[in-house]
Chain A
Amino acid sequence: MIGKDSLVIGQYFPGNGLLYSLDPRNKILSFLFLMIIIFFYKSLFSFIPIFLLVLSFIIISKIPIKSILKGLKPILMLLIITLFFHFFFTPGETIFKIFFLKLTKEGLNKGIFIGSRLIILIMISSLLTFTTSPLELTKGLEFLSLPLEKLKFPSTEIIMMITIALRFIPVLVEEADRIIVAQVSRGASFDEGNLIKRAKSLIPILVPLFVSSFRRAEELAIAMEVRCFQPGKKRTYMKRLTWKNIDTIFLIFIIIFGSLFLFIK
């Protein structure tokens, strides 16, 4: 029922190029910086160089434009609602009027400004998840969240949990698939009836799925304990994160580039 190829976690596109070779910590920091700085931009013109920069990143990483557009699709509704509110509910010079809706010049400007910022924001944000695998990102976040350890935030344990969770997805999905088929063969149907009926029909899938997964968890915990796993102990990695010179150059470049257009009025 569910193809193995649908099991790609996140939007990660395996590939190579500049963005793939950068340290995930660096990518998190520089993209976060870009995402924050564009909120301080005052002019629509400041967005053009940033847009071109992001576009060139997309091109050199060989991410198909189609998937970028596909990623933007879910926010289309949000974009339309946002534009609608800004276009018609901003007081100012009226351009034209339909019933009670007034399109104002100020509203038009504001709408376009905010719309383009939203699109750029989402492009930057998804560029990070397009070029960094969840595991790499988690490693990056682990390092960046080390100061939180002092506040008793269990960073190392969380990373271990993420690794286990990712490892278990194929197993759990397969299990769920089996349960769905088993219930269907007993006459269960999942897409008939009203809202409450359909929601209820999920219960016979979820209950056995949960019980069998918890049993699996017990077994795994025992297996880990007999191998002397100790939660919270600092982990070592086979593939360690390395901060290269190119990372420093990239980070400095992004900070300068981003700040350059801060003052365009």
Chain B
Amino acid sequence: MNTKSLVRGAIIAGLYLSLTLIFAPISFKAFQVRVSESLTLLPFLTFDAVWGVFIGCFIANFFSPFGFIDVLFGSLLTLIAAYLTFLLRKTKKIYLAPIPPILLNGLGVSFYITLLSSNEMSLSNFNLKLYLSISSSILIGESIATYLIGLPLIIYFSKLKFFKEEI
């Protein structure tokens, strides 16, 4: 990692955090939308954003009611999603970029939340109904943040000279 990538990643993390702070109370109808999740598409444009989004999410999760659990697992899922989004850029299909964050957060985060609120930490009596109700609300919130806000944003950025050098 060179200094430029490091600082860019750090600033993206800073942006993620600032957006989380500024738009904290935004919710569209019943769905909580973390506006900052729109940044999870940036890895489609530059690798520096993989670390940036991971770190932003890592620190932002200190606010989470799940505290340390979310700090560990939530940000790890974001890191994996960001890397997958980065890999997806080879396909050159920009509309695919939101799929990893939507799926990993929607299915992954709800998975550990369900496990934490189930009887035993075992898969044999996994509470499917609870899982589906949590994951659907996360899926919808995440889809709004990525497809409605994130996608127009990165389409715009992909035309900037600044990012064109990167791709």
Contact = CB atoms under 8 A, between A and B. Distances in A.
Given A78-B113, A85-B130, A161-B6, A9 B62 contact: yes
A107 B28 CA distance: 34
Nearest to A118: B117
21 contacts: A9-B17, A35-B69, A39-B120, A114-B117, A122-B65, A126-B67, A129-B67, A163-B10, A164-B10, A165-B13, A165-B59, A168-B11, A168-B14, A173-B18, A173-B21, A195-B29, A202-B23, A206-B38, A214-B162, A218-B4, A231-B2
Bin the interface of chain B by size. 35 or more
Identify which of A28, A39, A163 gathers the most chain B CB atoms within 10 Å of its CB: A39
A89 B142 CA distance: 29
A84 to B, nearest CB: 9
Contacts of B62: 9-12, 129, 134, 137
B46 to A, nearest CB: 10
Contacts of A26: none
Interface string A19-30: 000000000100
Contacts of A75: 65-66
The residue in A85, A89, A230 that gathers the most chain B C-beta atoms within 10 A of its C-beta is A85
Contact of B134 (A72, A81, A157): A81
B129 interface: yes
Nearest to A180: B22
Contact of A78 (B8, B23, B134, B156): B134
Given A198-B28, A221-B4, A161 B10 contact: yes
| Candidate in A2, A78, A110, A160 with the most chain B CB atoms within 10 angstroms | A78
Nearest to A175: B18
* Range of interface residues on A (Cβ < 8 Å): 35 or more
Interface of B: 1-4, 6-11, 13-15, 17-19, 21-23, 28-29, 35, 38, 51-52, 55-56, 58-59, 62-63, 65-69, 71, 113, 116-121, 127, 129-130, 133-134, 144, 148-149, 152-153, 156-157, 160, 162
Given A82-B117, A129-B62, A224-B7, A161 B51 contact: yes
Interface of A: 2, 6-7, 9-12, 28, 31-32, 35, 39, 71-75, 78-79, 81-82, 85-86, 89, 110, 113-114, 118, 121-122, 125-129, 134, 137, 154, 157-158, 160-169, 172-173, 176-177, 195-196, 198-200, 202-203, 206-207, 209-211, 213-214, 216-218, 220-221, 224-225, 229-232
A65 B6 CA distance: 40
B119 to A, nearest CB: 6
A165 B17 contact: yes
B64 to A, nearest CB: 8
A76 to B, nearest CB: 9
A238 to B, nearest CB: 20
B68 A173 contact: no
A213 B144 contact: no
Given A173-B22, A203-B152, A231 B66 contact: no
**A6, A35, A231, A232 — which one has the most chain B CB atoms within 10 A of its CB?**
A231
Contacts of B22: 2, 173, 176-177
Nearest to B152: A203
B14 A160 contact: no
Contacts of A221: 3-4, 6-8
Contacts of B148: 195-196, 199-200
